[in-house]
Structure 1
């Protein structure tokens, strides 16, 4: 019942209101069909937000899982790997707003009071870089998200690796298999179901990215430049901006639901294979 009250009903209400022009409390929703969607898809802010969100899902997912797999290969045979796992997981228990503020200090461009990144560049004779400018901030945020998120997926993948019988790796070592061959022929096939679940979790989290971009790209202003927007920021702007447009915000929320559904179904089909018993 609680699931229906707090999730199903609000979702249905969001879909219904996405077909209306509504300015919030005190205003009566005026249903106008697909007008909200037409205006939204033609909005420059939405176009940037949609493309940036796709970049976070695709490029961020590839980068995060490559990093997670590399650490998994290294940590499997390393002493004290549980301690290292805990250290790598630490960024996930820090609030995204705090992480955004931390990265804002690291990437700050201010001659005479440079952030850590520019301080290191200048210490080797290079010029400082305006990392948080509108043209580059999306890539900086992408790298920051990969760094902050990889620990979570390393933990998930390592938990799956821990259940693989050690004798399989011992037999592979006796046969002269390299670390890459062990990963490709043992680790990956026997953790494939977990990889699929992790991919779904990443997709859901990537579509909801909001705080890190808002803090890093906003630089203390009301909202970051539209070139750096995500779908979450677009919804926020249309809900709490100077001229609230809740119908458009609801339409964008519906697009986010559809985007998650498409990617999840595609991932489940792409990663579907018979379970391997061991």
Structure 2
């Protein structure tokens, strides 16, 4: 008769069924991998975002002309100077116009297309076409719009050619007095496709039977949008609003190319905060302290808008 000897399991070892690891062991392995994977990301984030942001805030309280010059701490002098500067005042107002009016126009256009495209055949193809301007470099878009709105007798741009073809007078669209509104319309046209794509992705997840029930009840397209589409995509609308605010406060290329074609910089009353920072950094005698102060104002401005939007658009989640 042979006796079988069983080897006792090692201390702390808890084998699972069939030799598989237990959930506790799996969680322990994941915890071991957490920091090795997260640490490189934190290092890069700190080096390329946190550190420059802190440096910008510190330099905004000093007078600094760049490499070779020692920053001179002067408190809030830079801030008092920029708020008294005509260029900053124009840039601040224009940036607010782009954020608010541009946002309203972009989302109204996006919602209109969303209502139309939802029941349209081939809406995915139309969505891709509308998204196309977002993959074109803003500088190229600015050059394109410069050609479209060009005012040159006997060699007009497309917009003036169409006006003259119906017997109307050509318009100086790129004149300094009207360029802000022309750029605003161009931004709305170029940006709407991106937000149409986001909103349509949210609409695609809404169960079709909700719209079918509304149609049976005799609901109009506006009633369907107000009572079904908007409530069930509200969380996505909030995120899209935040994205718009962040993008709008950085508007630079379109204004620079369309308003300042052939010159060093656009006229001062067409500036945005981005152009003001550029001018103080690379125009004439560098004033990096002033540029940093403006950058801090941009950070504060976008933070205020984002917090306000999140509070304004806060709604209870609707399960469907």
Above 0.5 in TM-score? Answer: yes
Q: Offset of 1:116 from its aligned partner?
A: 0.5
- Aligned partner of residue 150 in structure 2, secondary structure: coil
Q: 1:44 aligns with which of 86, 91, 103?
A: 86
Q: Offset of 1:87 from its aligned partner?
A: 0.1
Spell out the pairing of 1:266-277 with structure 2 (5 A cutoff): 266-277=308-319
Cα distance in 1 between the residues matched to 2:67 and 2:74: 18
Larger Rg: 2
Q: 2:201 aligns with which of 149, 156, 159?
A: 159
Aligned twin of 2:55: 13
Aligned twin of 1:87: 129
- For the aligned residues, what is the CA RMSD? 0.4
Cα distance in 2 between the residues matched to 1:128 and 1:242: 37
Alignment: residue pair count: 278
Q: Provide, for residues 163-205 of structure 1, a one-character-per-residue CA deviation record: whole Å limited to 9, x for no partner.
A: 0000000000000000000000000000000000000000000
Cα distance in 1 between the residues matched to 2:263 and 2:155: 21
Q: When the two structures are superposed, what TM-score results if normalisation uses the length of structure 2?
A: 0.87
With CA pairs under 8 Å and 6+ residues apart, which has the higher RCO, 1 or 2? 1
Aligned twin of 2:147: 105
Q: When the two structures are superposed, what TM-score results if normalisation uses the length of structure 1?
A: 1.00
Runs of 4+ in 1 over 3 A off after TM superposition: none
1:130 and 2:160 are equivalent in the alignment: no
Cα distance in 1 between the residues matched to 2:154 and 2:274: 35
Aligned twin of 1:181: 223
1:254 and 2:303 are equivalent in the alignment: no
Cα distance in 2 between the residues matched to 1:60 and 1:238: 26
| Structure 2 residues without counterparts, runs of 5 or longer | 1-42
Greater mean alpha carbon deviation, residues 117-126 or residues 80-89: 117-126
Q: Offset of 1:11 from its aligned partner?
A: 0.2
Q: Provide, for residues 101-130 of structure 1, a one-character-per-residue CA deviation record: whole Å limited to 9, x for no partner.
A: 000000001111110111111111111111
Aligned twin of 1:71: 113
- Aligned partner of residue 232 in structure 1, secondary structure: helix
Q: Provide, for residues 31-56 of structure 1, a one-character-per-residue CA deviation record: whole Å limited to 9, x for no partner.
A: 10000001100000000000000000
Aligned twin of 1:223: 265
Cα distance in 1 between the residues matched to 2:76 and 2:201: 46
Q: Provide, for residues 202-227 of structure 1, a one-character-per-residue CA deviation record: whole Å limited to 9, x for no partner.
A: 00000000001100000121100011
